[in-house]
């Protein structure tokens, strides 16, 4: 039963107020992309046992989508941050590295 | 033309009472909340203070609530809503802002009595301890299985807004939770 | 292998059971095997068994990080059915179901297959049409099912409440030869039979790397050293993504938690398996008397074998609505498993970008019922490079957009 | 024989008697009794039957760990099976019945099994019952199921209600013994918000029973003072009858409060399941005494030493006249003392240790008790009661040296901390050699959302046993917890305690140590499931070496007590059999809940009418009042049809269709989703969202649109209305509004966040009514409008707004039936009155309310697709002949790239056609078009399927739509569709538009 802080309204939200939305920072491939790129975009999800960037919506709340960096093995949450960004911000990377020195972004 | 709220003022018995409050004007305002024109349009039209994050400012039947970083909810008497929409829209003409009357899409309840806070704490996964949740703050959350917004309006009184279609459900679960003999004695 | 029977028990009783031999051996790894199967769950062990039985390939090792049958094989709700809609699904699940019928005799190990029947309740008109469609598909697929009336549902399940205020029971899809089996026994029975064929089951042996040369597999690094192989089958469910990463490719799979619970045991009160998909719950009664209950999965990636409590809550309230008498039973134990879910929620039984490596994963919430069919088809794929049972489940389908979607009955209407 | 002592019993109120029945017999107890203590007081020592062998069972424990004394309590809608007599508080009028026997508790035919245990070793099921094959299902399994299963299934609907409560605390303390109380005191002093819960009705745990003194006060006094002090702290809340049931991720924990189980006639909820979010959790859950494994240790009268002490001290009950104490530690000597103090006889203390020199043994010696060191019990004599024990040397194989007559055996194998809550969320354990138990490893605690430890332990649950250490550990854990929660702790002074010097215990896993196979078959590990030492050894011998294998093969620890008494003894036995150390063998996983919790409490308030929300339109009550047969559509309930005067549903539907086609029908379409999409980029956004071009739609016009997901599949459809240059009103399917709105926000927030678009879901702002049929315009004209209603002024696919009959209306001239049709939206508060007005004014046109089925038939007659019928998540618009709605000009829309993949462009995809049986019958729902031959898996080949099929009242025959291989190129061809009985129906492929193909009617 996770709790995540919504970066938009500042509420520490219960999991039941949220909706999970899968892997974050996917790059959309549309018309003109190769079959391989498109397959990767739709189906090849990161499935790490460890640090994972993911999307959540504060559905029973302010309605905003946000991102979380979370460990799928311990469920530790390193940071939550707004969705309008194409890759994890440097301070989020730093927060993860502080807790998981062996981890590095791809 | 007679207009009907979802439950036409239904109320429950008991020391802690649940009542549907009838029709209330409600206006969704979306836009850049840091924009001075928008602030002026909304506060000027309503006569209410501009709310900070998660806050609600109230004067009698009017209230202005922060709903999201780009969204406000303005409450007013039901028959004033259309006029307010028109006035605010006129102020914001040409701007990227959306002002919509959603009065009839909602139902509003009053939960009052000594255990009002507990009644809500049976249904919402929210820290409602008086140290954590007091007057002036509005919390959007869920009540059991539906979305709702709740705020404290008086010492032993809380207000609840939900979608109109689930008004009966919300009334039923609030009344159940408020039944005499089910006080928790926690807060 | 000494055969199990009532006579053997009587013989052993006379000497205080001191003469029973090990059900499976505990060998040291050999340097090289024709086939290594990673994962000694039901699917991995069944694959090994049919490699031996159907193809005479017995120089096989089954490598297991923990204890055999210790993953999802031992954590599921043991339901067996084959009333699937799409042809490839119906084929592999019906193959599995038919193999369950004779598994106890085939393995000389009582897996307690109990074909008590499975009902999938239809609680919306949309669901009625969906199950009628399945019944018509099953008729052509050789899967015996029947769409039955609410009254017939009530006869089969006297404790059911047909007229809930929210979702009345409008009928059900009935498979009379579906049922349950003793999950641990399936793994143990296969393990005993594999060991008897001379295969090595290497427990507490973790694969730490996969080696290949020129795009062809050569073996695995393990906590007990390098072990060579000609072919490698990966059958590790929720951990398939991690293992594939070690081999250098990715799978369209995500791992999420699925939860189940049992009540305290009570005297028999429900003789069939009931699944209520509209309200997300299913229930059967075990031979011990426990009501075995399953529900939905979390929507976020999770490797903890713990899930979120609200799923338990949703499932229990749905089942109380369907079976009011369970309100006064008590939840004895809840647990979680990690299930591997693919983009179309159907499994992957496929070749991979590396020659000699085959993958069997993505069974999601439906793996137990498939074990023998999956093992049968995957053994054929590994042995021959092709199998009609697995053809449609290749990795290429995600690129082609050729999905096997069993959730078609769900969704919106009107 | 057990009986009530003439005095004593700190928990019972001897002035308040409770009458109760046990298997129909009338008994009397006191307020404060548990059912178990009251039964013992009435001389009832036989309390149940075991699961597998149906052996007679007496109570062995005095609390939550009890495996034997399980009863059904209550009747009718308040009956509940499998309740522990040791935790069921007695009340006046209680009705208790024993379980798992036939015909009676005393004479159980099933007990024939106990003559055969030799033939029923662990795992015997797996080795037999295999032949002949059908016998498992029809003969063996039914017999096994019937003999298993414990309590009876409740028959009646539960008459009680349940509820939830959310609490957010800084520190949750589980366990109200002196450790929990001390932790609460210390934590409370910091100002932190503290919740302390205790599973029983009484505070203080074992301290008062054990004669503990704290700071010169007797434990009872210290407990009362402490409770008072805690009650005075405004930041501390304390609850009894509230059990910490489970600890989950991020501090979520369950507290199971039993409000009226002890007083079922009181009103109010029966159970309340608290969902506590705790920043820190302290488990002060105590320890559980372990049985000893000696032959005959399951005979009624063999009890835990601590339980014997509890019955004497807490409830003033003597379990028997002569008690032999058998132990490997000093603590059990307290039981002997308590018995002597109560005037009962202790003929001997059998201590497996060679050296017994602690303060307690010395005190017993001083009172003349016969202490036999280095000895064990060779076997317990007796059947349904204990008759005596034979004594042997612990070191040997069990040759009896002499016999001692007794009726109770009080055993103690040492204590195991209750580590369940610590372990639920990943806390790890270490093996403590000194006490021979697993205890929490503070270095490997469960972690919460920020990666820090959030569970701590106190007292015996921590592995500490002396009063001083218990209080010290509690205070330290509390200090650590409040500091972790951001509060400043005040240091505390260690209290003075009256601890005595206890000699070390000595692990004893089998008694005697060298017992042979015959004895091992009589040493019970798991009383309820009948698992013996021999069974665990057999499992090891057969290769079931992992603790999980052994557990599952033998069923050790899988009973309703979840191994609270048996797990450690079982592990140790396995370790001996494998010749390994206990910590290497490890433990099984601890799963919630700590003890079973009611399903009712899990569901909470969600039952009957509020099981799930039912969404209602403003016109819902009218539908109900007019006898509508409702169907669930998402969370809405919509009228399927309105049967009148005994009409069948089919008849009602036919009447509704014909009335609409011939004159005028009215449909409550309020459930249709309505979303405002507004902003400078709204048109661009809708171009991406829909397959067709929406930017070219003119204000004042409507356009039907298709929405796909990124995987290319059709997701939703509906009419898009352009209100002005920057504002669109998007209609979605019923039940599709929330999903579609979420889909829009997802793309706007996460992909195109720089686009200037707002969306607002206004579905419920409007009641929407379809006015359909040749007389539709006449009705509107009769109502009167302040805008032009003429064919030219409001043409097909146009819209207008204004006053209509005094209502604030927006009128869309769109048709899903092929008739002249208007969908009219009015504010929801006016919806019902408007609906009534339409009926009143429409009476002259026979205005007829119609339901969803008539709606479906009329759309099918026109060949319109329905999301969820023609689509199922695998269908793309191209399959449905909707190419006209897919813009060729647009470079991109959601789903476009997906639709270019090889399988999507495969010419062999099945395509939409109309279908008509040659005999006019209605094609079965879900039927498949058969093709020749079978596939590689032996399945019949197919070439299409039915997607919608109806009897058309308009055309008087069956009509259907379906997807067929090369369908549009095969018009007029006859193919066969299957029936479930194996026969087929000859069916002609036709144009899917069955009615008014020219579209004349909707354009009038």
Domain with residue D404: its CATH number is: 3.50.50
Which residues pair with residue D371 across a beta bridge?
D349
C304: which chain D residues are within 8 Å (Cβ-Cβ)? 249, 426
**Model pLDDT for residues D831-856, shown as the tens digit of each residue:** 999 999 999 999 999 999 999 999 99
Shared domain for D427 and D397, answered yes or no, is no
Using the predicted structure, report yes or no on whether residue A40 has a pLDDT greater than 90: yes
Q: Considering the domain boundaries, does residue B182 fall inside one?
A: no
Number of other CB atoms surrounding residue B182 within 10 Å: 23
CA C76 to chain centre: 8
DSSP labels, D470-503: HHHHHHHHHHHHHHHTT-PPPP-PPPPB-PPP-P
| Residues in A touching D897 (Cβ below 8 Å) | 29-33, 38
Residue D285 has pLDDT above 50, yes or no: yes
In a domain, B136, yes or no: yes
Site from A15, A45, A46 to mutate, C interface, most C CB atoms within 10 angstroms: A45
Q: Which residue has the higher pLDDT, D589 or D696?
A: D696
Residues 6+ apart with CB under 8 A from D301: D45, D58, D319, D320, D382, D385, D386, D407, D408, D409
Which chains border B (3 or more CB–CB pairs < 8 Å)? A, D
D596 and C265 within 8 Å at the Cβ level: the answer is: no
Using the Cβ of B117 and the Cβ atoms of chain D, whether some distance falls under 8 Å is answered with no
Q: What is the pLDDT of residue D735?
A: 86
Cβ–Cβ gap D758/B98 under 8 Å? yes
Write down all domains in chain A, each with its CATH number in brackets. Answer: 3-25+37-99 (3.30.2270.10)
Instruction: Supply the pLDDT for residue B1.
Output: 65
- In this complex, do B126 and A9 lie within 8 Å of one another by their Cβ atoms? no
- Pairs of CB atoms within 8 A across C/D: 373
Give the residue carrying structure tokens 């140290």: B131
**B-D Cβ pairs (cutoff 8 Å, strict):** 132
b or e along C168-180 (b: 16 or more beta carbons within 10 Å of the residue's beta carbon)? bbbbbbbbbbbbb
Say how far apart CA D349 and CA D351 lie, in whole Å.
Answer: 6
Note whether residue D440 is domain-resident: yes
**C346-350, D587-591, D739-743, D762-766: segment of lowest average pLDDT:** D587-591
In this prediction, what percent of chain C has a pLDDT beyond 90?
A: 89
Residues of A near C (Cβ–Cβ under 8 Å) read: 1-2, 15-16, 19-22, 35-36, 39, 42-45, 47-49, 52, 54, 70, 72-75
HSE-CB of D386 using CA atoms within 13 angstroms? 35
| pLDDT above 90: residue D493 | no
| Model pLDDT, residue D130 | 87
Asked if A95 has any chain B CB less than 8 Å from its own CB, the reply is no
- Answer yes or no: do C310 and A35 touch at CB < 8 A: no
Residues A31-39: what's their mean pLDDT?
97
Note whether D702 contacts C: Cβ–Cβ < 8 A.
Answer: no
Overall domain count for chain B: 1
Nearest CA in chain D to A100: D451
Residues D275 and D166 in one domain: yes
Q: Label the pairing between strands C200-202 and B17-20.
A: unpaired
Q: Using an 8 Å CB-CB cutoff, list chain C residues near D144.
A: 287
The CATH number of the domain where D428 resides is what?
Answer: 3.50.50.60
CB contact under 8 A, D168 and B127: yes
Nearest to D449 among A3, A21, A29 (CB): A3
Q: How far is CA C403 from CA C345, C363, D632, D904, in A?
A: 9, 14, 29, 11
Q: Is B139 on the interface with D (CB under 8 A)?
A: no
On whether residue B50 sits in a domain, the answer given is yes
Q: Is the pLDDT of residue D116 over 80?
A: no
D250, D750, D892: residue with CB nearest A31: D892
D3 and D105 fall within a common domain? yes
Structural domain ending residue among the three candidates D159, D181, D209: D159
D76 and D121 together in one domain: yes
Q: Write the CATH number for B62.
A: 3.30.1360.120
D318, D408: one domain:
yes
Write down the number of H helices and E strands in chain C. 11, 18
Question: Per-residue pLDDT averaged across C332-347, rounded?
Answer: 93
Does residue D113 carry a pLDDT above 80? no
User: B180: Cβ–Cβ under 8 A, 6 or more apart, which residues?
Assistant: B14, B15, D267
Of the candidates D148, D596, D631, the beta carbon closest to that of C287 is on: D148
Residue D701 has a pLDDT of 98
Q: Does B140 touch chain D (CB under 8 A)?
A: no
pLDDT at D115: 65
Alpha-carbon distance C395 to nearest alpha carbon in chain A (angstroms): 11
Section D392-403 average pLDDT = 96
User: Which candidate in A76, A80, A87 is best for mutational testing of the D interface (most D CBs within 10 A)?
Assistant: A76
* Tokens read off for D726: 């920057």
Last residue of a domain, one of D607, D628, D659: D607
Give the total residue count for chain A. 106
Question: What's the distance, Cα to Cα, between the start and end of chain A in Å?
Answer: 28
Neighbours of chain D (3+ CB pairs under 8 A): A, B, C
D126 DSSP 8-state letter = H
Q: What angle do CA D601, D606, D610 make, to 5 degrees?
A: 155
Nearest chain A Cα to B140, which residue?
A: A61
pLDDT digits 0-9 by tens, B62-108 = 999 999 999 999 999 999 999 999 999 999 999 999 999 999 999 99
pLDDT (mean) for C158-180: 94
What ipTM does the predicted assembly reach? Answer: 0.97
Considering CB atoms only, which of B126, B140, B142 is closest to A62? Answer: B140
Q: Which of B69, B122, B129 best tests the D interface by mutation, with the highest count of D CBs <10 A?
A: B122
Band (D112; pLDDT cuts 50, 70, 90): low
Cβ atoms of D653 and D851 closer than 8 Å: yes
Q: Which of D607, D631, D660 represents a domain boundary (last residue)? A: D607
- Whether D942 is covered by a domain: the verdict is no
Q: What mean pLDDT, rounded, does chain D reach?
A: 96
Confidence class for position C1, pLDDT limits 50, 70, 90: confident
Tokens representing C26 are 């505990």
Q: Which of residues 274-333 of D touch B (CB under 8 A)?
A: 275, 277
User: How sure is the predictor about C410, in pLDDT bands with cuts at 50, 70 and 90?
Assistant: very low
Report yes or no on B59 lying in a domain: yes
Q: How many residues are given for chain C?
A: 414
Separation of alpha carbons B53 and B69, rounded Å: 8
Residues 15-44 (A) with a CB less than 8 A from some CB of B:
16-17
Query: Do D80 and D610 touch, CB atoms closer than 8 A?
Result: no
D437 shares its domain with D475: yes
CA distances for D945 relative to D861, D979, D989, angstroms: 18, 12, 12
Helices (H), chain A: 35-43, 90-99
Query: Within this chain, do residues D200 and D247 fall inside the same structural domain, yes or no?
Result: yes
Q: The tokens of D545 are what?
A: 């070496």
Can you give D875-905 as a three-state secondary structure string?
Answer: CCHHHHCCHHHCCCCCCCCCCCCHHHCCCCC
Dihedral pair phi/psi, residue C219, rounded to 5°: 165, -170
- Bridge partners of C254, per DSSP, are C341
Task: Label residue D944 by pLDDT band (50, 70, 90).
Answer: very high
Report the pLDDT averaged over residues A83-87.
95
Whether B41 maps to a domain, the answer reads yes
Residue D688, phi then psi, degrees to nearest 5: -75, -30
Residues of A in contact with D447 (CB under 8 A): 74, 76
Say whether both D139 and D17 belong to one domain: yes
Instruction: Output DSSP code: residue D225.
Output: H
Percentage of chain D modeled with pLDDT above 90: 93
For residue D103, whether the previous peptide bond is cis, meaning omega lies within 30 degrees of 0, is: yes
The predicted model gives D647-660 an average pLDDT of: 98
Please report whether residue B127 resides in a domain.
Answer: yes
DSSP-derived 3-state class of residue C295: strand
Judge whether residue D740 has pLDDT over 50. Answer: yes
Q: Are strands D345-351 and D371-373 parallel, antiparallel or unpaired?
A: parallel
| Pairing state between β D455-457 and D271-283 | parallel
Task: Name which of B2, B1, B7, B3 is nearest B164 in CA terms.
Answer: B7
D705 forms bridges with which residues in the sheet?
A: D718
Contact call for C303 and A19, based on CB within 8 A? no
Percent of chain C with pLDDT strictly greater than 70:
99
Tell me the β-bridge partners of B142.
B147
Q: How many domains does chain D have?
A: 4
Query: Which chain D residue has the Cα nearest residue A67?
Result: D750
Instruction: Please write the tens of the pLDDT for every residue from D300-351.
Output: 999 999 999 999 999 999 999 999 999 999 999 999 999 999 999 999 999 9
Pair (D406, D432) in one structural domain: no
Q: Mean pLDDT, to the nearest integer, of C3-13?
A: 90
**3-state secondary structure at position D807:** strand
Is there a domain that residue D776 lies in? Answer: no
Within an 8 Å CB–CB cutoff, is residue C411 touching chain D? yes
Residues of A in contact with C296 (CB under 8 A): none
Residue A58 near chain D (CB below 8 Å):
no
Helix (H) or strand (E) holding D682, with range, is helix D682-689
Task: Read off the tokens for D189.
Answer: 């002093």
Average pLDDT for D154-175? 97
Model confidence at C413: pLDDT above 50: no
Tell me: the pLDDT tens digits for D614-634?
A: 999 999 999 999 999 999 999
Asked if residue C414 has pLDDT above 60, the reply is: no
Q: How far apart are CA C191 and CA D195, in angstroms?
A: 50
What does the pLDDT read at residue D114?
Answer: 61
Q: Tell me: pLDDT of D688 over 60.
A: yes
Q: Please name the residue that has the structure tokens 């028990």.
A: C9
> Is the minimum CB–CB distance between A3 and chain B shorter than 8 Å?
no
CB nearest B125 (choices: A8, A14, A62) = A14
Least CB–CB distance from C408: residue in D81, D155, D873: D873
- Best of D749, D754, D900 to disrupt the A interface by mutation (most A CBs within 10 Å)? D749
B125: closest chain A residue by CA: A14
Domain-embedded: residue D58: yes
| Per-residue pLDDT tens digits for C185-207 | 999 999 999 999 999 999 999 99
Residue D545 located in a structural domain: yes
Q: Does residue D637 fall inside a structural domain?
A: no
Cβ of C386 under 8 Å from any chain D Cβ? no
Cα distance between residue D580 and residue D577, in whole Å: 8
Q: Indicate whether D231 and D307 sit together in one domain.
A: no
- At residue D680, the pLDDT reads 98
How far is residue C35's CA from residue C48's CA, in Å, rounded to a whole number? 9
Q: Give yes or no: residues D69 and D7 share one domain.
A: yes
Q: Which domain does D71 fall in, by range?
A: 1-159
The SS3 assignment for A14 reads strand
A neighbours by CB contacts (3+ pairs under 8 Å): B, C, D
Cβ–Cβ below 8 Å for B3 and D827? yes
In a domain, B1, yes or no: no
In a domain, D911, yes or no: no
C348 at A interface, C-beta within 8 A: no
Same domain, D7 and D101: yes
pLDDT tens by residue, B137-169: 999 999 999 999 999 999 999 999 999 999 999
CATH code for position D119: 3.10.20.440
- Contact between A21 and D747 under an 8 Å Cβ cutoff? The reply is no
Domain membership of residue B62 as a residue range: 14-177
């Amino acid at each position: 039963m996770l709790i995540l802080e919504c970066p938009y309204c500042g509420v520490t939200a219960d999991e039941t107020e949220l909706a999970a939305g899968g892997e974050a920072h996917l790059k959309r491939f549309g018309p003109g992309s190769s079959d391989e790129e498109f397959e990767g975009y739709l189906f090849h999800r990161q499935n790490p046992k460890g640090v994972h960037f993911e999307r959540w919506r504060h559905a029973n709340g302010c309605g905003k989508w946000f991102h979380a960096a979370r460990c799928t093995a311990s469920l530790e949450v390193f940071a939550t941050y707004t969705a309008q960004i194409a890759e994890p911000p440097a301070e989020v990377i730093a927060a993860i590295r502080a807790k998981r020195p062996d981890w590095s972004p791809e | 033309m007679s207009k009907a709220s979802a439950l036409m003022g239904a109320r429950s018995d008991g020391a802690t009472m649940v009542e549907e409050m009838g029709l209330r004007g409600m206006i969704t305002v979306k836009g850049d909340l840091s924009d001075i024109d928008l602030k002026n349009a909304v506060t000027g039209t309503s006569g209410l203070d501009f709310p900070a994050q998660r806050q609600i400012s109230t004067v009698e039947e009017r209230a202005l609530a922060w709903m999201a970083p780009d969204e406000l909810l303005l409450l007013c008497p039901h028959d004033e809503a259309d006029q307010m929409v028109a006035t605010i829209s006129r102020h914001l003409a040409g701007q990227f802002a959306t002002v919509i009357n959603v009065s009839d899409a909602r139902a509003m309840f009053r939960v009052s009595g000594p255990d009002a806070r507990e009644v809500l704490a049976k249904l919402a996964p929210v820290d409602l301890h008086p140290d954590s949740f007091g007057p002036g703050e509005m919390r959007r959350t869920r009540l059991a299985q539906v979305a709702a917004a709740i705020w404290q309006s008086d010492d032993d009184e809380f207000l609840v807004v939900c979608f109109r279609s689930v008004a009966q459900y919300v009334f039923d679960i609030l009344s159940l939770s408020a039944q005499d003999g089910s006080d928790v004695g926690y807060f | 292998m000494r055969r199990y029977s009532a006579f053997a028990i009587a013989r052993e009783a006379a000497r205080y059971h001191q003469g029973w031999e090990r059900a499976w051996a505990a060998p040291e790894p050999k340097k090289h095997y024709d086939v290594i199967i990673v994962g000694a769950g039901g699917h991995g062990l069944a694959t090994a068994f049919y490699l031996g039985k159907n193809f005479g390939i017995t120089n096989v090792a089954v490598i297991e990080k923990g204890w055999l049958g210790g993953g999802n094989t031992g954590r599921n709700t043991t339901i067996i059915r084959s009333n699937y809609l799409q042809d490839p699904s119906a084929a592999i699940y019906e193959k599995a179901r038919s193999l369950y019928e004779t598994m106890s005799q085939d393995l000389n190990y009582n897996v307690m297959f109990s074909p008590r029947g499975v009902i999938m309740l239809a609680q919306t008109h949309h669901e009625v049409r969906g199950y009628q469609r399945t019944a018509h598909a099953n008729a052509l697929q050789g899967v015996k099912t029947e769409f039955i009336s609410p009254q017939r549902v009530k006869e089969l399940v006297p404790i059911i409440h047909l007229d809930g205020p929210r979702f009345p029971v409008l009928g059900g899809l009935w498979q009379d030869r579906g049922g349950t089996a003793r999950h641990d026994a399936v793994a143990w029975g296969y393990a005993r039979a594999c060991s008897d064929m001379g295969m090595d089951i290497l427990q507490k042996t973790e694969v730490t790397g996969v080696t290949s040369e020129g795009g062809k597999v050569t073996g695995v690094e393990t906590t007990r050293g390098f072990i060579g192989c000609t072919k490698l089958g990966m059958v590790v469910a929720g951990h398939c993504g991690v293992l594939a990463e070690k081999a250098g490719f990715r799978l369209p799979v995500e791992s999420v938690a699925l939860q189940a619970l049992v009540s305290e045991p009570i005297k028999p009160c429900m003789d069939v398996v009931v699944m209520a998909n509209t309200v997300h719950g299913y229930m059967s009664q075990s031979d011990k008397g426990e009501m075995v209950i399953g529900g939905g999965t979390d929507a976020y990636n999770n490797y903890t074998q713990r899930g979120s409590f609200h799923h338990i809550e949703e499932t229990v309230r749905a089942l109380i609505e369907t079976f009011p008498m369970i309100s006064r039973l008590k939840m004895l134990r809840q647990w979680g498993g990690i299930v591997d879910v693919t983009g179309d929620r159907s499994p992957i039984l496929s070749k991979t970008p590396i020659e000699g490596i085959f993958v069997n994963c993505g069974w999601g919430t439906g793996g137990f019922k498939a074990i023998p069919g999956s093992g049968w088809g995957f053994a054929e794929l590994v042995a021959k490079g092709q199998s009609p049972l697995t053809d449609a489940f290749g990795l290429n389908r995600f690129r082609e957009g050729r999905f096997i979607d069993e959730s078609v009955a769900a969704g919106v209407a009107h | 024989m057990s009986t009530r002592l003439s005095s004593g019993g700190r928990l019972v109120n001897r002035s308040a008697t409770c009458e109760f029945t046990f298997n129909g017999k009338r008994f009397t107890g006191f307020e404060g009794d548990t059912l178990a203590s009251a039964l013992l007081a009435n001389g009832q020592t036989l309390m149940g039957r075991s699961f597998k062998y149906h052996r007679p069972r007496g109570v062995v424990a005095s609390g939550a760990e009890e495996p034997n004394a399980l009863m059904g309590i209550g009747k009718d809608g308040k009956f509940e099976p499998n309740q522990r007599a040791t935790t069921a508080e007695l009340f006046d009028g209680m009705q208790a019945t024993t379980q798992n026997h036939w015909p009676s508790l005393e004479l159980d035919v099933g007990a024939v099994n106990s003559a055969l245990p030799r033939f029923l070793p662990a795992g015997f099921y797996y080795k037999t019952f295999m032949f002949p094959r059908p016998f498992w299902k029809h003969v063996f399994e039914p017999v096994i199921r019937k003999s298993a299963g414990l309590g009876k299934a409740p028959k009646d609907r539960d008459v009680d209600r349940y509820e939830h409560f959310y609490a957010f605390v800084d520190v949750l303390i589980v366990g109200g013994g002196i450790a929990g109380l001390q932790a609460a005191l210390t934590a409370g002093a910091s100002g932190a918000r503290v919740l302390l819960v205790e599973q029983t009705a009484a505070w203080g745990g074992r301290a008062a029973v054990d004669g503990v003194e704290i700071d010169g006060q007797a434990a009872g006094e210290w407990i009362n003072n402490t409770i008072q002090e805690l009650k005075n702290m405004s930041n501390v809340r304390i609850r009894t009858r509230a059990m910490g049931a489970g600890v989950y991720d991020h501090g979520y924990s369950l507290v199971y409060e039993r409000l009226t189980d002890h007083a079922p006639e009181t009103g109010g909820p029966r159970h309340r399941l608290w969902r506590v979010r705790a920043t820190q959790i302290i488990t002060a859950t105590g320890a559980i005494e372990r049985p000893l494994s000696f032959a005959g240790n399951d005979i009624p009268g063999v009890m835990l030493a601590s339980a014997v002490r509890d019955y004497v001290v807490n409830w003033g009950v003597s379990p028997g006249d002569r008690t032999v104490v058998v132990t490997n530690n000093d603590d059990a000597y307290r039981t002997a003392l308590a018995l002597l103090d109560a005037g009962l006889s202790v003929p001997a203390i059998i201590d497996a240790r060679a050296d017994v020199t602690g303060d307690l043994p010395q005190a017993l010696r001083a009172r003349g008790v016969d202490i036999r060191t280095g000895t064990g019990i060779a076997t317990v004599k007796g059947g349904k009661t204990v008759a005596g024990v034979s004594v042997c040397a612990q070191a040997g194989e069990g040759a009896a040296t002499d016999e001692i007559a007794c009726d109770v055996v009080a055993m103690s194998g040492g204590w195991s901390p209750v580590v369940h809550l610590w372990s639920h969320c990943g806390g790890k354990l270490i093996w403590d050699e000194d006490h021979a138990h697993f205890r929490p490893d503070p270095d490997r605690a469960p972690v919460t959302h920020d990666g820090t430890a959030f569970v701590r332990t106190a007292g015996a649950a921590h592995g500490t046993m002396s009063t001083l250490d218990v209080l010290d550990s509690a205070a330290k854990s509390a200090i650590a917890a409040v500091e972790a929660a951001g509060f400043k702790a005040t240091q505390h002074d260690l209290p003075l305690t009256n601890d005595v010097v206890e000699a070390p215990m000595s692990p004893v896993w089998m008694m005697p140590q060298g017992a042979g196979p015959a004895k091992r078959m009589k040493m019970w590990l798991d009383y309820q499931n009948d698992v013996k030492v021999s069974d665990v050894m057999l499992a090891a011998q057969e290769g079931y070496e992992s603790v999980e294998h052994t557990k599952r093969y033998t069923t050790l620890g899988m009973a309703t007590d979840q191994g609270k008494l048996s797990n450690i003894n079982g592990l140790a036995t396995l370790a001996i059999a494998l010749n390994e150390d206990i910590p290497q063998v490890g433990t099984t996983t601890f799963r919630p809940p700590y003890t079973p919790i009611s399903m009712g409490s899990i569901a909470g308030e969600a039952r009957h009418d509020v099981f799930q929300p039912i969404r209602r339109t403003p016109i819902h009550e009218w539908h109900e009042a007019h006898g509508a047969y409702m169907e669930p559509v998402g969370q809405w309930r919509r009228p399927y049809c309105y049967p009148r005067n005994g009409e069948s549903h089919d008849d009602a539907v036919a009447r509704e269709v014909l009335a609409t086609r011939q004159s005028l029908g009215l449909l409550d379409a309020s459930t249709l989703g309505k979303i405002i999409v507004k902003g400078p980029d709204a048109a661009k956004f809708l171009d991406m969202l829909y397959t067709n071009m929406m930017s070219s739609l003119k204000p004042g016009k409507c356009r039907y649109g298709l929405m796909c997901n990124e995987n290319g599949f059709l997701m939703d459809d509906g009419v898009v209305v352009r209100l002005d240059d920057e504002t669109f009103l998007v209609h979605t399917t019923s039940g599709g509004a929330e999903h579609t709105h979420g889909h829009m926000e997802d793309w706007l927030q996460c992909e195109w966040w720089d686009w200037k678009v707002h969306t607002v879901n206004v579905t419920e702002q409007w009641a929407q009514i379809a006015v359909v049929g040749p007389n539709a315009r006449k009705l509107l004209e009769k109502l009167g409008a302040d805008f032009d209603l003429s064919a030219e002024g409001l043409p097909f696919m146009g819209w207008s707004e204004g006053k209509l009959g005094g209502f604030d209306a927006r009128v869309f001239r769109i048709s899903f039936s092929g008739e002249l049709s208007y969908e009219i939206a009015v504010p929801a508060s006016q919806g019902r009155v408007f609906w009534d007005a339409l009926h009143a004014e429409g009476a002259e046109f026979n205005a007829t309310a119609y339901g969803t089925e008539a709606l479906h038939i009329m759309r099918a007659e026109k060949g319109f697709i329905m999301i969820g019928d023609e689509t199922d998540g695998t269908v793309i618009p191209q399959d449905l002949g909707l190419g006209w709605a897919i813009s060729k000009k647009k470079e991109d829309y959601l789903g476009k790239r997906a639709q270019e993949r090889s399988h999507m462009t495969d010419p062999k995809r099945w395509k939409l056609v109309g279908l008509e049986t040659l005999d006019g019958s209605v094609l079965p729902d879900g039927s498949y078009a058969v093709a020749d031959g079978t596939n590689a898996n032996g399945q019949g080949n197919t070439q299409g399927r039915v997607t919608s099929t109806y009897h058309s009242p308009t055309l008087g025959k069956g009509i259907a739509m379906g997807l067929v291989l090369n369908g549009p190129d095969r018009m007029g061809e006859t193919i066969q569709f299957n029936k479930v009985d194996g026969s087929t129906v000859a069916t002609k492929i036709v144009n899917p538009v069955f009615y008014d193909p020219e579209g004349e009617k909707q354009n009038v």
